[in-house]
Structure 1
């Protein structure tokens, strides 16, 4: 996985790991109605029985690009393979998550920052084989980006994941064309992609205007 290039805030070049081959795949997905649709998200659950981490920070501010004071990140995590059935996507035996992704998703549900009906984690992503989705290491959390309340709810969820990075193993977060990475945790920066043409507010899904992308270590 290629990490995005990090530079100063607002001047950073943030690239989604695994942009290669995505243009064709995005076009196909949009035609098929796969990308950006909550209709394909399952509502089965509740995932594994693994305990959630203790001491998680409660959901708080919906302030854009909020960074908690004194935030420290944990960047050393063991490698995991996808072995837990993806309870956000029923009906495909291939749909599995890593234990870390499963715990992170269930913790977010318990914290009340996401709605399972708007979640999609595992996806074949045949057009983008370096994506974290087929590895069970990423989730897309769709929000009503057309309303101020929906955008605020998205920032509340994104901020919660950032605040709990060290306990959940968050690798990076993308929302509203903004990028935050555990390896450069002091600030959010613009998400840029030459593949999707980001930043481009008219590219709703490619530039992550309508969903939060969460990748786990």
Structure 2
């Protein structure tokens, strides 16, 4: 009879432990959802709070901060498309060039297939890494991470809104979430080298 009482007690303990674990998982899930759904501009955490991807190595020196006003798409595109960019975009490109050298990139683009794109507004740039349409590896992959992480760490100074790279997206207003999977936004194939932003770093600026 003593054994039966101990067995019943142990079952009660296991049931209580399982209930506590389930409650903890639910709270963690709700907490994570609350962070991700924080309103734009919410002070979730500082952009530099997440650790730098080890592939990035040592990041270049910090940029000079953008202190100008919103200009609209009025500045000649520094990537040579013949289009225009906003002042903050031209500044970010200039600072990136000073940090890592001139890079193959495209900023202004009509992007008729994606009306919500920042490119036709002069607030987006694609910085290509290695061959277009290919998945970078080795030094090319490391260089892409170096640029992406430099832009992320200095997002506040450069006016960065969000970044997409290696099938992941980082949003300044949700910096605490870090890099999260990119689903293509219903426009791009996230598994494709270009659609998933594996062959280029996309940066969108605040205009």
User: Structure 1 CA distance, aligned partners of 2:115 and 2:94?
Assistant: 26
- Work out the CA distance in 1 between the residues paired with 2:56 and 2:129: 16
What is the alpha-carbon root mean square deviation over aligned residues?
2.9
Higher relative contact order (CA 8 A, sep 6+): 1
1:63–1:156 Cα contact (<8 Å) kept:
no
Greater Rg, structure 1 or structure 2?
A: 2
TM-score by length of 1: 0.60
Q: How many pairs does the alignment contain? A: 146
Gaps of 5+ in 1: 1-6, 14-56, 69-76
Distance 1:8 1:210, change over 3 A: farther
Instruction: Tell me the equivalent position of 2:92.
Output: 104
Q: Report whether the alignment pairs 1:175 with 2:161.
A: no
Return the offset for 1:195: 3.1
| Greater helix fraction, Structure 1 or Structure 2 | 2
Equivalent-residue separation in structure 2 for 1:99 and 1:78 (angstroms): 8
TM-score normalized with structure 2 length: 0.63
After superposition, residues 47-126 of structure 1 pair within 5 angstroms as: 63=54, 79-90=70-81, 92=82, 95-112=83-100, 115-116=102-103, 118-126=104-112
Would the alpha carbon gap of residues 128 and 195 (structure 1) be closer, same or farther in structure 2, given more than 3 Å must change? Answer: closer
Between 1:79-88 and 1:131-140, the stretch displaced more is: 79-88
Partner of 2:194: 205
Ranges in structure 2 where 5+ consecutive residues have no aligned partner: 1-30, 38-47, 60-67
